[in-house]
Structure 1
């Protein structure tokens, strides 16, 4: 039995209602350890957190320095020995942009994958999230549960079936009738960037719907009731109210999805394969080292170019990031 004592406040003036009593936990109910841990975390000064941030950025800075050093310098000394900008060279960057498989083309391929894989899930999931949150239709809760349950489907188990579908389409053979029904025609998408962003779009949809639903369902109900009284239809409410109010969570999902698709290697390698004309930067960088790693000196330059665009996207949208992460976590 927990030992909880109460502190009674003064009774106040005659006729006033008694003030509520405040329960004080003396720590014997098991929460004292959690409170101490929470207090220790709160006591961490901001300077220590900034120190962690600085330490975390050191590898990125080392990658930048190494990208300007020659092969012999990279092999003989550490990157901290190359901090003198007057000794840097642009030869590594010249090599990756003038090579037979130029990184410039692979950057365009990465854009062709990442932009549709971000825009399409947001466009579809926003409508679905609004419907699940504010439209009362039959089967809404089971359908929402089934959609969120798709998050548990492993990506790896679906890659080969999806690749076969992109290669040959999908058909159903009816037993006993000797008849085949074409469900999805053969669009010959294997080896193209379209197959990659379609795969990313499909697997991002459950998470997008779940995240947007939590945010949209927490919006003030009075706003929707006032809009309905004024005669606004669902599409007008969605376009004029929900979208402007949901910018933080839309930006948060855009950051997550863009980073995931831009840095993906598994899906791109599976769907594109050996088609060099459609390879994104992740596949190109993996192949730049050449046989026996003889071109390893250009890898830092290629890696820094590949990571520079996600860094720009993150800092451009970072003011929405925390607000979007907290979407729907507190109601009221």
Structure 2
């Protein structure tokens, strides 16, 4: 019964479960990154992203206002404020030393030295009183609190306008868009010639293109950079456009040629009988029919170029006005390693555009990749 036509194999469920597991492995970190990018530092350090919708208990260390914020209230000098800085929360306990951060209940008076007292209300309002004017650094308050879930756009505003990612985003777009369009234009002409035009050495060219697919790009970085420097296009956008185009052309030609070979020969022969030139056939027949393959390669080239760090570092440099997003993220990892909210918003900003491009053109991906594999 297992071999009867039309029956499903018992391995189908295993394949489905494996696929679902792989999808979860990719989707869950992306969701976590997105949620974390809208949380502040305190929330990220005290609870995981999966608890973002629930209140979280936090241990805060708050430095009270300085001596310049004090005011006189009768015979006492007073410094007051709110430990939550207007963000909201509920104080469960507070303390005046790190050894016992929850020694006092909300509203109780905690004695400090020189007659100074401190109190913290349940809503976060604190009050320091002293019989003499405050001088020097103000004391620290250790607060155990429960804060409600909150989300903010400040991380993205900081990244776009204060951390240089906005400029890096524009630089990445400047690199990626031409580096995606140029190889597609060149490869489309070359693929048509290799698929439908008869000329000596065509088979050798196809074999050479297939061979170039397995050549690692690292082998050509130094000689290609020397060539660019000799031509005066080193560390310029033109140089990195040409570099990305050259590295992407073998796959583009191979993919498009396989697709064009599979197109119906009768359509092309009928067009030639009607007097159409090769350029007219290519422009009016081949290109519209080859859109799935073009879109498929565009997805790959866009993602490779957008996520590239090595080629951008070699051919563009690390100056602030030319730094791409991968380079900017590397700098943030070095200088902002403890600020997870900045890293999360920067990372999600860097993957947002590739996600949009992929989901907008994914229906053409499989059609383009399978082109020419089945006759």
Q: Pick one of 272, 279, 282 that aligns with 2:323.
A: 279
1:98 corresponds to which of 161, 168, 178: 161
TM-score by length of 2: 0.69
More helix by share: 1
Match of 1:12 in 2: none
Question: Are positions 1:148 and 2:118 aligned together?
Answer: no
Which of 234, 237, 241 is the aligned partner of 1:190?
234
Deviations 1:259-316 (A, max 9, x none): 0000111111122222220111111111123437244430100110110001110111
Q: Tell me the equivalent position of 1:201.
A: 245
RMSD: 2.3
Q: How many residues align?
A: 277
State which of 152, 157, 177 in structure 2 corresponds to 1:89: 152
User: Greater RCO between the two (CA within 8 Å, min separation 6)?
Assistant: 1
Could you tell me which residue of structure 1 aligns to residue 72 of structure 2? none
User: In the alignment, which residue of structure 1 is the partner of 2:9?
Assistant: 39
Check conservation: 2:336, 2:343, Cα contact below 8 A.
no
Equivalent residue in structure 1 for 2:33, among 63, 83, 90: 63
Q: Following superposition of structure 1 onto structure 2, how do residues 227-238 of structure 1 map, counting pairs within 5 Å? A: 227-238=271-282
| CA deviation profile, 1:4-43 (whole Å, cap 9, x unmatched) | xxxxxxxxxxxxxxxxxxxxxx9xxxxxxxxxxx934434
Displacement of 1:78: 1.7
**Deviation by residue 1:125-154 (Cα, 9 ceiling, x = unmatched):** 111111011111011101111122111221
The CA deviation at 1:194 is 2.6
Q: Distance in 1 between matches of 2:223 and 2:306?
A: 23
> What's the CA shift for 1:63?
0.1
Distance in 2 (CA, whole Å) between partners of 1:43 and 1:82 is: 34
Check if 1:121 corresponds to 2:175.
no
Q: Unpaired runs of 5+ in structure 1?
A: 1-25, 27-37, 170-185
- Taking the TM superposition and a 5 Å limit, the aligned residue runs for 1:125-140 are 125-140=187-202
Q: 1:77 aligned to 2:47? A: yes
Following superposition, the deviation at residue 76 of structure 1 comes to: 2.9
Deviation at 1:230, TM superposition (A): 0.7
Judging by fraction of residues, say which structure has more strand.
2
> What is the Cα deviation at residue 86 of structure 1?
4.6
Deviations 1:25-73 (A, max 9, x none): x9xxxxxxxxxxx934434586874564344311000001111122232
Do the aligned residues in 2 keep the contact of 1:250 with 1:324 (CA within 8 Å)? Answer: yes
